[in-house]
Each structure stands twice: as C-alpha cells, then as structure tokens.
Amino acid sequence: MRTSPVIPVLVIEDAATARPLAEALVKGGLRVLEVTMRTSAALDAIREMKQVPGAIVGAGTVVNTDQFEQVMKADAEFIVSPGLTERLGDAITGSGVPFLPGIATAGDLMRGLDMGLTHFKFFPAETSGGLKALKALAAPFYQAKFCPTGGITLASAPEWLAFGPVLCVGGSWITPKGASMEQVEALAREAAALAR
C-alpha cells in the first residue's frame, strides 16, 4: 500500500492487452496493479502482467474461496475483496498472502480487526459517505489503515491522501476506455506524482 499513492483498478476484457497495459502503468510509475475478477480474461491477465519487470500484480473483486484458489494458482501477489466474510477472510489470512478486504461500516472494521487485519479497502468510498465518513470511522479504530476505492478521481485523490490513515487510493480513471498506452502511461505518471 505504500509502494504507490494510487493502485489502478483494472477490468480487463482481453488478456492480449494485459502486458502492454502493465508495461505502460509501470513505466508511468504505478507498480501495484489490481486485476478485478469481473471478466473471464482476469486470470490470464494476471499471468501476463506478472511477466512485466517491476509489476506487483494482485487480484481484486475476489468474493469467495473458489475465486481465491483460482487467483492463487495464477500467482496473484495480493488479494482485494469488496467486502469481508469470515470464510473468505480465514482462507486468505491463513495463506499468508497480503489481503485488503473491503469495509464500509464499524461492524466490518471490528470483524476485520478480530481476524487480525489492520489494512482495509474503504469501499465504495464516495457513495459510503466520502472522506467525512472515513474520518468518522477511522477515529475509534486508530490502528486501521485504508485504501479508499470507488468514485475516487485525480481531482479528489489528493484530499483523500492527505488524511493520515489513508496509505493509497484505488482508481479506475487511469485506464479510461479507448485510451492509448501512451495516454495510460501519462495518466499513471500524473497519479504516481500525487503526494501522500
């Protein structure tokens, strides 16, 4: 979470685009890449991206233990989930792989802390009350660190990153549909330059 201020949240429809995309993002300064499990190409995309020097490739939108097993076979280096269940959380924490579960409430945070977790994805960030809500949530949970994701933009990211418990943000704005690899690299460079 401290490697880059922004983790690109990637929905990849065609695995053939995965390696050039990873190369553009890494060249732009964003090494931590989250490939969401929202498409049939996701597992192949993870394998392709892992071949790019410097890329740290993980799986996002992991919602059950079957998906967890699949992404581990694809050698995902970290796991992100939109929420937190005990079954999924126990499987992932037991494996030792870095895990960033989604939370939106105090109950979610308490469940995660009970499982020994201290780093969370605040999701969906903007529709869950934005930075004001995260500040209120973070206050009683001083040990927790966050990666807000969902509705974050280049314009709003600096304000999120200025809040101490936020180590990075997740964003899809870096890879807009139809963008060239040169455009992606430029957007990555802009995001990588954001101060924390």
Known catalytic residue: 132? Answer: no
Q: How many CB atoms lie within 10 A of CB 146?
A: 27
Q: Kindly compute the dihedral angle of the four CA atoms of residues 97, 25, 31, 93, in this order, to the nearest 10 degrees.
A: -10
Catalytic, out of 34, 48, 126, 185: 34
Instruction: Report helix, strand or coil for 36.
Output: strand
Residues 6 or more apart in contact with residue 52 via CB below 8 angstroms: 19, 22, 23, 26
Known catalytic residue: 126? Answer: no
Catalytic, out of 48, 121, 126, 185: 121
**Residues 4-17, buried b or exposed e (16+ Cβ, 10 A)?**
bbbbbbbbbeebeb
Residue 165 structure tokens = 């418990």
> β-pairing, 119-122 with 6-10?
unpaired
**Residues 76-101, buried b or exposed e (16+ Cβ, 10 A)?**
bbbbbbbebeeebbebbbeeebbbbb
Spatial separation of the C-alpha atoms in residues 162 and 5, rounded to whole Å? 11
**Residues annotated as part of the active site:** 34, 121
